[in-house]
Amino acid sequence: MAKTYEEMDAIAMLKADHRKVEEIFEQFEKATSATKKQALAEQACLELKVHTIIEEEIFYPACRGLIEDDLLNESYVEHDAAKTLINEIEAGGPDETFYDAKVKVLSEMIEHHVEEEEQYVEGMFAQAREAGLDMDDL
């Protein structure tokens, strides 16, 4: 049985969010109707906005000084780029020429971002655990 958010530590919750968004992007790729694609894109954008707030207001500040500054700074820049694309997706619609392309690029950006956070040894999550950051307290 899957754990609830209350039973997870901070990293487990962030990873669960990553899997959820990955699944939404996979569904978007398979969707054929414009209505379904728009609903999935909107869901992905909402999930990412909430996730970004959690990382930027709670997780990243707790990591500052404990993990590589470059990695943390790059994460903020990646978030800013994703926010720009999210705003464009939300302002557009599936009838827009570049709508699917924007969602695809956002998906690829998020995939890269997730890889940097979740790398086994050098990733942000591994560095935070190694530094002894209390994941249950977050």
In a domain, residue 1? The reply is no
For residue 132, give the amino acid letter: G
In a domain, residue 107? The reply is yes
CA dihedral of residues 48, 49, 50, 56 (deg, nearest 10): 100
In a domain, residue 137? The reply is no
In a domain, residue 28? The reply is yes
Query: pTM, whole model, 2 decimals?
Result: 0.91
Boundaries of domain holding 99: 8-130
In a domain, residue 136? The reply is no
In a domain, residue 3? The reply is no
Cα–Cα distance, 16 to 33 (Å, whole number): 27
In a domain, residue 59? The reply is yes
Cα–Cα distance, 33 to 94 (Å, whole number): 9
Q: How many domains does the chain have?
A: 1
Whole-Å CA distances, 6 to 2, 12, 35, 115, 125 = 11, 11, 34, 25, 19
pLDDT of the chain, 138 residues: tens digit per residue: 456 656 678 999 999 999 999 999 999 999 999 999 999 999 999 999 999 999 999 999 999 999 999 999 999 999 999 999 999 999 999 999 999 999 999 999 999 999 999 998 889 999 999 999 887 877
